[in-house]
Structure 1
Amino acid sequence: MENRTQHIFLKGAFMAGLAIVSTAAFAQEDERPLIEPDVQPEPVDEALIDTENFEIGVFSGIMNIEDFESSFLWGGKLTYHLSERFFFEANVGFAEGGETSFEKLAGNVQVLSDEDREYTYYNVNLGINILPGEAFLTENYAFNTNFYLIGGAGATDFAGDTRYTANAGAGYQVLLTDSIAIQLVVREHLYRIDVLGEEKLSMNTEVSAGLSVFF
């Protein structure tokens, strides 16, 4: 009788232990979500500027020469990056002045000779990147971008004279690869001129696009 009682007791204890283990296992399974999300992060490939600090480029666009029409502009630049935020830039640009309103109305009258209509500027500027960002071509490929402000001083050869010139503007740069970038620039060139009478401040607007290489 005693053995039978022990057997019943041990069997009950075994069943109770099994129930506890099953409950614990069920509780662990309950912690898992009912639906396993099948989400795999996609790597984003983005261009990063190489460690080189120098940048050389070419550009073309339109130069609005005050009183002398708008003209095709082309030129080149050399940039030295002091840091990710600041850079120095040297530019040279070439254009050609058109006819004034007076010349168009007067017929054969010429205010400037063909040689004096050649327009050349060169300057040295300080730039600051104020709004770095990204532009996505696809969901898996991103271009680094920079919106920057730039300004400086130099000279303009036009109308038979060399004139001190200040300039200021803004640009938007897109880095296509680790070493190649494109940019769009809008800049104002200011100098004093007296070709058409009383001396005045001439404001000449440049809109250009360019391609540059880091090295």
Structure 2
Amino acid sequence: MVNWITAGVLASVLILPSTAAFARQDSDSSSRIEPQIDQSEVIPARLDTENFAIALRGGALAIEDFGNSGLAALQLSYHINEDFYISAEYALAKAGLTSYERLSGAAPLLTDDERQWHYYGAELGYVLLPGQVYLGKDYAVNTGWSLFAGAGNVDFAGDTVFAVKFGSQFRLYLTDWLAMDLVVSDYVFETTILAESKTTHNLSMALGLAVYF
């Protein structure tokens, strides 16, 4: 009788560890979570390798003392590298009436030809924040936000004066050769139109397209 009891005890000792190990292994396998995540492939727009770009823009120009007017600008740019570019620009607008002319009903201060506003100059730009804009989950287009500064001449009111220009540009690359940009600028120059010399700030905002070639 004692031998049977001893044999039963030994069998229990041998079986229980293996049973516990099997149960622990089964519990581990059942509690493991395998993630099923599909990786989406984002395809950014590839840019053209050409360094030249020509841009045509239209917008508004606030000529100090003469109100707002339409603005048209043509710009030719050369991209030195991914960060820096230089540009030559020609812009034109037409000044409106001053508040004095509107309120007093006096003779116009300027003729129609003298109200023509022209700017031509050059600038240096730096791409401060290159990036991307995602269109849906599978496609992205490249963007670039840059700052620029330059100088040139303004023909206005029968005179030609030196002007400084600075501002920023946000460019969205639609294809490898076509981009859309938004440009905010300030044209700063001296004027003596109202019988005293003063520095004027002439703010503009223009939207346009640029073609790389």
Task: Please indicate the TM-score interval, normalised by the length of the shorter structure.
Answer: 0.7 to 0.9
2:39 aligned partner:
41
Q: TM-score, normalised by structure 2?
A: 0.84
1:185 aligned partner:
183
Letter in 1 for 2:168: A
Given the alignment of the two structures, is residue 142 of structure 1 paired with residue 148 of structure 2, yes or no?
no
Picking from 60, 63, 77, the partner of 1:62 is 60
Q: 3-state DSSP class of the match of 2:36?
A: coil
Q: 3-state DSSP class of the match of 2:117?
A: strand
Cα deviation 1:29-60 (Å, max 9, x = unaligned): x7899444333322212112211000011001
Letter in 2 for 1:51: T
1:52, 1:33 → 2: CA distance?
A: 57
Cα deviation 1:98-150 (Å, max 9, x = unaligned): 00111112214110001100011111000000111111111111111111000
2:73, 2:201 → 1: CA distance?
A: 19
1:17 aligned partner:
none
2:163, 2:157 → 1: CA distance?
A: 14
Q: 3-state DSSP class of the match of 1:138?
A: coil
2:128, 2:30 → 1: CA distance?
A: 47
2:165 aligned partner:
167
1:79 aligned partner:
77
2:195, 2:154 → 1: CA distance?
A: 19
Letter in 2 for 1:110: P
Letter in 1 for 2:155: D
Q: CA deviation at 1:161?
A: 0.8
2:129, 2:68 → 1: CA distance?
A: 31
Cα deviation 1:153-199 (Å, max 9, x = unaligned): 00111100111110010111111111111111111101111010111
CA-atom RMSD, angstroms? Answer: 2.3
Letter in 1 for 2:210: S
Letter in 2 for 1:41: Q
Letter in 2 for 1:119: W
Picking from 203, 206, 210, the partner of 1:205 is 203
1:10 aligned partner:
none
1:94, 1:107 → 2: CA distance?
A: 27
Report how many residues are paired: 193
Q: 3-state DSSP class of the match of 2:100?
A: helix
Picking from 92, 99, 104, the partner of 2:102 is 104
Q: 3-state DSSP class of the match of 2:135?
A: strand
